[in-house]
Amino acid sequence: MSPMQMKTPKGTRDWAGEDITLREHVFDKIRSIFRLHGGAELDTPVFELKSILTDKYGEDAKLIYDLQDQGGELCALRYDLTVPFARWLAMSNVRQIKRYQIGKVYRRDQPAIARGRLREFYQCDFDYAGTFDLMVPDSEVLSVIVEVFEALRINVTIKLNHRCILDGMFAAVGVPQDQLRSISSAVDKLDKSPWEEVKKEMLQKGLAAEVVDKLGSYLLSSDISNASDIESTLSFIKSDEVLMANEDVKKGVQEMELLSQYLSAYDIATYVKFDLSLARGLDYYTGLIYEVIPESFSTVNGAALQVGSIAAGGRYDTLVGMFSRRDIPCVGISFGVDRILTILNARQNRVEDPKPKIDTWIIASDSSSLVEERMAIARELRQAYISVDFNPNASQKPRKQLEAADCVVVAVYLEEDTETAGGIRVKVLTLPEKNLDKATVVDREDLVDEVRKRLV
């Protein structure tokens, strides 16, 4: 008996039983939506060269898991599926693709398991890469988001912002160019922290008090509090001369107007809020950014804390160019499956009809265990794609064997019988009936057909 710690590493977990059944159900739903859009699957290694991950994640880079240097290359566990996708695009000849990937990613964050925040967690990513008409891929990605949550029956709000508008606003109030990402990262905390804290962080980062206050006047404006629809926020921006004097803001506004049109075409405009305080922590976004908040947690200000966003993404037009001479503009979405499962579990919205693990169960009379006959019949049924099992402790009494047959549809009951050819009488019983006297005798060669008939 060893004194070792019996646990999974901090922030990780095993998946088994109903949990993995529900998870696979969610993966299937998401995968089927991705395929309705023509998504092609990609799978990349769990770790990448450390250099691939460097300078992609801003302040979050400290959360990257490194592999130990055991001689050879320096590697790190992937932090998301986006950077590996961009690396793959840069290495391949592909210039346009809708790709999806479902896989685990790794962040040395403070885990909060009850809220579905782990260090090893699944992401389901859909990304649309290629040089295309403005906002056409972006609006399709947003329609993917809506379709996924419609399929999962989770009511959501998609909070949108545009990096050009955000950065233009920062520039317009006087944030120095080299502090854009650092201040953006502070603003991103507004959904979890009160303004006073965010303000303090900005001051600590060296921003002048008057710049912070001007920024606050936009971010906290009552005209757009709690995130308004696209039209209202656009009106607010367009009525502000300081903002509209900035070229980046102007460009972002044009794109948001086009997007608004396309969201109406997709009939998904009602899902969307335009939130000027949405910033997203990651460095690589260049245009539209978005976060998906489950509706029941997003009504009261600050309550989004409970689960946080359950999907997030945006446009990143220069990430592939960090890996290769040729840029490929991309836009994508990443679904956080663990948090989605937390919601489905909390709502007891579990898979209603878990499939029986096994269709058929083979038992035998007390007089003999007939193990080899069970094996022969099991092989035959499985060859007919009928799932089947028997108790490997063959000598148990038949009634006890039958009791173990939970979630089973048909029982096959074997008895020794000198009058039957082959010496074995075969009976079939459809459960939940467990009275063996009610079992029907069938010919050995009709068994597979008889079982199949009872399973339909």
Of residues 66-95, which lie at the interface with a second copy (CB under 8 A)? 66-70, 72-73, 75, 77, 87-88, 90-92
Q: Which two tokens stand for residue 317?
A: 């037009």
Contact call for residue 266 and a second copy (CB under 8 A): yes
How many of the other CB atoms lie within 10 Å of CB of 453? 12
Nearest residue (CB) to a second copy, 136 versus 209? 136
Contact call for residue 14 and a second copy (CB under 8 A): yes
Contact call for residue 420 and a second copy (CB under 8 A): no
Q: How far is CA 112 from the centre of its chain?
A: 17
Near a second copy in 202-241, by CB under 8 A:
none
At 441, give phi and psi (nearest 5°): -75, 135
Angle, helices 180-187/209-219, rounded to nearest 10 degrees = 50
Contact call for residue 17 and a second copy (CB under 8 A): yes
Alpha carbons 273 and 277: distance in angstroms, whole number:
11
Nearest residue (CB) to a second copy, 236 versus 266? 266
Contact call for residue 6 and a second copy (CB under 8 A): yes
Nearest residue (CB) to a second copy, 104 versus 189? 104
Contact assessment for residue 107 and residue 13, using Cβ atoms and an 8 Å cutoff: no
Strand-pair category, 156-162 with 272-274: parallel
Near a second copy in 297-356, by CB under 8 A:
322-325
Residue 338 known to bind ligand: no
Nearest distance, CB of residue 191 and a second copy, angstroms? 28
Near a second copy in 350-389, by CB under 8 A:
357-358, 371-373, 375-376, 378-379, 382-383, 385-389
Kindly determine how many residues on this chain lie close enough to bind a second copy according to the rule CB under 8 A: 98
Residue 97: strand pairing partners: 129
Among 82, 123, 143, 334, binds a second copy (CB under 8 A): 143
Nearest distance, CB of residue 14 and a second copy, angstroms? 5
Among 217, 226, 235, 261, binds a second copy (CB under 8 A): 261
Contact call for residue 7 and a second copy (CB under 8 A): yes
Alpha carbons 387 and 121: distance in angstroms, whole number:
32
Alpha carbons 142 and 150: distance in angstroms, whole number:
12
- Give the dihedral sign, CA 374/375/376/381: positive
Diameter over CA atoms, the chain: 100
Alpha carbons 47 and 307: distance in angstroms, whole number:
28
Nearest residue (CB) to a second copy, 43 versus 449? 43
Alpha-helical segments (H) within 301-364 = 337-346
Nearest distance, CB of residue 339 and a second copy, angstroms? 17
Nearest residue (CB) to a second copy, 385 versus 432? 385
Alpha carbons 68 and 281: distance in angstroms, whole number:
27
Residue 440 known to bind ligand: no
Among 25, 27, 58, 108, binds a second copy (CB under 8 A): 108
b/e code 331-341 from CB counts within 10 Å (16+ = b) = bbbbbbbbbbb
Contact call for residue 400 and a second copy (CB under 8 A): no
The pattern of x and - marking residues 45 through 64 that bind a second copy according to CB under 8 A reads xxxxx-xx------------
Residue 35 known to bind ligand: no
User: Is residue 226 classed as helix, strand or coil in its secondary structure?
Assistant: coil
Contact call for residue 158 and a second copy (CB under 8 A): no
Annotated binding site for L-histidine: 80-82, 107, 123, 127, 280, 284-285
